[in-house]
């Protein structure tokens, strides 16, 4: 889940340098959210399978 910080950082860099807000949020921030949700789901599945 820590890996999701990279696309958030990319989005911050784009915004700080005056880049397109649509690109920063639409591509990089969305990617970060998807990576974060995937990590959460993987952890949840791991916990569920260990409890069986």
pTM of the model: 0.78
pLDDT tens, position by position, 28-49: 989 999 999 999 999 999 998 8
- Please write down the HEC assignment for all residues of the chain: CHHHHHHHHHHHHHHHCCCCHHHHHHHHHHHHHHHHHHHHHHHHHHHHHHCC
For residue 6, the model assigns a pLDDT of: 94
Mean pLDDT, residues 6-29 taken together: 93
């Amino acid at each position: 889940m820590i890996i999701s910080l990279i696309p958030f950082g990319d989005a911050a860099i784009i915004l700080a340098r005056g880049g397109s807000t649509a690109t920063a949020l639409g591509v990089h921030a969305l990617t970060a959210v998807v990576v974060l949700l995937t990590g959460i789901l993987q952890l949840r599945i791991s916990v569920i399978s260990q409890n069986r």
